[in-house]
A and B are shown apart, each in its own frame.
Chain A
Amino acid sequence: MPTDDADETLMLRYGAGDADAFTQLYARHKGPLYRYLLRQCNQPAVAEELFQDVWLKLIAARTGYAAQAKFTTWLYRLAHNRLIDHYRASARRPPASYADDCPEWAAIPAPMEAQPEHQEDRRQRAEHLLRLLGTLPEAQREAFLLKEEAGLSLEAIAQATGTGRETVKSRLRYALARLRHGLGGTP
């Protein structure tokens, strides 16, 4: 039976052998985590593999979880690391956008074909937003997704991605600017 227990409490209970606690945790976080991975790699098959790996890693580390760390931050830290491993295993270097100093971001214009010419309904505009999101540099997209999907604060995003708070803020600012611009300034 679902409860209102905090994520940290559920994770500790699962570490103590309560499988139902894991079921609740999974129900809470499976959607945001899956979408985070799917939109970062843009391939459903790869996203499913990464998604499964992250949860299996969490299961393996259940007894070592310490309540000092916020569960969501810890979960997305696992996901971020798995994503970086995926980039490296795919013979791709981690995207250049993960560099802390990337001033050219602001100069990159949104694709012209992404800009709507007509007023669309909400669903169409949402799909258009997703396409714009796919054009963002990975680091900006990640910061946006961690904020929107996981609800992490600037500090939590910085912890999860292993970077500084100011860098996260900068990435978010650029991401929002590009999305607004792509949507014609009136999303």
Chain B
Amino acid sequence: MNDPRPSALSEPDEIRDARLSELYRATRDTEPPAWLDQRILTAARTAVKSHPTPVISRSRLRDSRFWAAPVALAATVVLVVGVWRLSPLVGGLDKTPAVLEEQASRAQAQPAAKPDATRTESVQPTRSVPAAPPASMQAVPAPSAVSQPFTPASRSVESPRQSEGKVNLHDLAIRRSLAAWRAEIAELRRQGRMTEAEARLAEFLRQYPHEALDEAEPPQ
């Protein structure tokens, strides 16, 4: 006949023996040696001291990690947009010397008497030209009368090559003017119209107070 008791109730009795357990408890006096206790306790304290638990909780760490990627992405977008917006300005700056050079080359193309070497130099990019004028330009002596009308301010805003091109242009204009003045005064003197010649000379000196007038003086 089968045992009517549920097996669940009989199981604990199968593995329980009070008298055996009591007898075993009498043997439980063995302990680890004291030196081992000290070693393990020291290790436990050292571990806590050398690696303290972070003050920030794990949830806060998780939050910061959660926001790290979006913040990094936003920073990247801002950086890229900023660089992109700056790029046209940089291009414009790059183009500025070309515009000035084009103006200078146009100005130089007008005087036919200008040497070819000077025209060739003026169309080259400013970036590739050293600050000092090339030897071919230095070899051409600038007239002393030409350099004086230019102000320091006007020179400061132009590159050396641009100012060089404009100096040549202005130089030619002044030369023509000087030649015309001199020719006119000489002709008046030659015709004996000394009063008119002196009046033209005075007017010339007003316009060109620093110009050398030797050539305009009547030959002695």
- The minimal Cβ–Cβ distance linking B48 to chain A, given in whole angstroms, is 5
Contacts between the two chains (Cβ within 8 Å), count: 97
Contacts of B20 in A (CB 8 A): 129, 176, 179-180, 183, 187
Q: On chain A, which size bracket covers the interface?
A: 35 or more
* In contact, B47 and A126 (Cβ under 8 angstroms): no
- Asked if B36 is at the interface (CB within 8 A of a chain A CB), the reply is yes
- Asked if A17 is at the interface (CB within 8 A of a chain B CB), the reply is yes
Stretch at the interface among A82-90, A93-101, A146-154: A146-154
Bound CA–CA A147/B18 (angstroms): 12
Q: Is the interface of B mostly helix, strand, loop or mixed?
A: helix
When each residue 56-91 of chain B gets 1 if its CB lies under 8 Å from chain A and 0 otherwise, what string results? Answer: 000000000000000000000000000000000000
Bound CA–CA A187/B24 (angstroms): 10
When A30-B37, A187-B23 are in contact, do A172 and B15 touch as well, CB less than 8 Å? yes
- Asked if B19 is at the interface (CB within 8 A of a chain A CB), the reply is yes
Q: How many residues of B contact A (CB 8 A)?
A: 30
* In contact, B30 and A123 (Cβ under 8 angstroms): no
* In contact, B40 and A56 (Cβ under 8 angstroms): yes
* In contact, B19 and A62 (Cβ under 8 angstroms): no
- The minimal Cβ–Cβ distance linking B162 to chain A, given in whole angstroms, is 72
- Asked if A107 is at the interface (CB within 8 A of a chain B CB), the reply is no
Contacts of A17 in B (CB 8 A): 48, 52-53
- Asked if A59 is at the interface (CB within 8 A of a chain B CB), the reply is yes
Give chain A's interface residues, CB within 8 Å of chain B.
14-19, 22-23, 26, 30-32, 34-35, 38, 48, 51-52, 55-56, 59-60, 62-63, 122-123, 125-127, 129-130, 147-149, 154, 169, 172-173, 176, 179-180, 183, 187
